[in-house]
Amino acid sequence: MELVATELNPVPSQPVITPVTTADGIVLRAVRWRATARRTRGTVCLVQGRAEFIEKYFETVADLRRRGFAVVAFDWRGQGGSQRDLANPRKGHVDDFSLYERDLAAIVDQVILPRCPPPYFVLAHSMGGTILLHALRGKKTPFARLVTVAPMIDIAMVPWPRAARVLSEMLDACGFGASYVPGGGATSISTKPFAGNRLTSDPVRYARNAEIAARAPELAVGDPTVAWLDAAYRAMGAFSDPGFALDVRTPVLVVAAGADPVVSTPATERFAARLKTGRAIVIPGARHEILMERDGIRDQFWAAFDAFVPGSEGALPDQVESSLSAAS
């Protein structure tokens, strides 16, 4: 449950670490921080993507606290400092994405609602965006607004997606769900060489995250399992239902990466166009991890975020667009 610091990535001051137990008995690592600004504007729940961990987001935590937000961050089951389902802790595994919604519900019930100031907002990356959109569909949640960064609406990095979907389903049904995806292994994406990486064009932030994974290898996971991929395709397949986006009533800002080789930006834009209470903006030149990108790209993200959160009733497309243009 400890937070890991490095010279380039110190722990933000005064963290309150809380173990959280889900309805099915999984223990999650969670942490909360108070705002550092004089006026508290609410709480942001920081929701990570696949194979990530709280420590990657220390810079983002500091950015949010300076803006007047308390922050809650946690590790999904099967990664970071949270409990694993499999004996091999390097496998990124889940049987169904609805289990991640149990994680979110536990964080809301045990940390956010009883211990954090309202109103409540969510900042979700990649897989986290997939989970939050499902959680918001036709359901009541405490979250007033969602900002989702490079959400996993569809995967771009798989060469033959239809074949991969069928293969993962078949392998999972045949009992190979706990195996790595074909060609996968235990090496964390955070420790692979910077050259040719899919995540960011910023070598300093990339090296910072690699140092964390090297210092605390127990936080990192390798490639996903067959079951995770099968579950991901099922979760993403639901987005093709025209009624899905219409059932999301919470205001949503989708921030997509213009040079994203991991998830499909065109698919993200098509989905966001169907949202009744949301819209998408695309940051040119950004790779998948926008919050880990170089300063110019991050400045554009934060300009859009500041125009949308905390916000007021109704969407703010003009304000978001003008803020993004000013920062670019």
In 3D, which of 284, 285, 286, 257 has the Cα closest to residue 269?
257
- Cβ(297)–Cβ(285) below 8 Å: yes
- C-alpha Rg value of the chain to the nearest Å: 18
Residue-wise pLDDT tens for the chain (328 aa)? 899 999 999 999 999 999 999 999 999 999 999 999 999 999 999 999 999 999 999 999 999 999 999 999 999 999 999 999 999 999 999 999 999 999 999 999 999 999 999 999 999 999 999 999 999 998 789 999 999 999 999 999 887 888 999 999 999 999 999 999 999 999 998 889 999 999 999 999 999 999 999 999 999 999 999 999 999 999 999 999 989 999 999 999 999 999 999 999 999 999 999 999 999 999 999 999 999 999 999 999 999 999 999 975 544 555 566 555 566 6
**What's the whole-model pTM score?**
0.94
- Give the dihedral sign, CA 257/263/268/269: positive
Pairing between β-strand 27-33 and β-strand 69-74 as defined by DSSP bridges: antiparallel
Pairing of strands 42-47, 120-125: parallel
Q: Strands 252-257 and 143-149, how do they pair?
A: parallel
What are the structure tokens assigned to 18, written together? Answer: 């809380």
Task: Tell me how far apart the alpha carbons of residues 291 and 297 are, in angstroms, rounded to a whole number.
Answer: 8
Give the pairing type, strands 42-47 and 27-33: unpaired
Q: How remote is the C-alpha of 229 from its chain's centroid?
A: 16
Report d(CA 137, CA 40) in Å as an integer.
28
Task: Identify any residues that bridge with 71 across adjacent strands, giving them in sequence order.
Answer: 33, 44
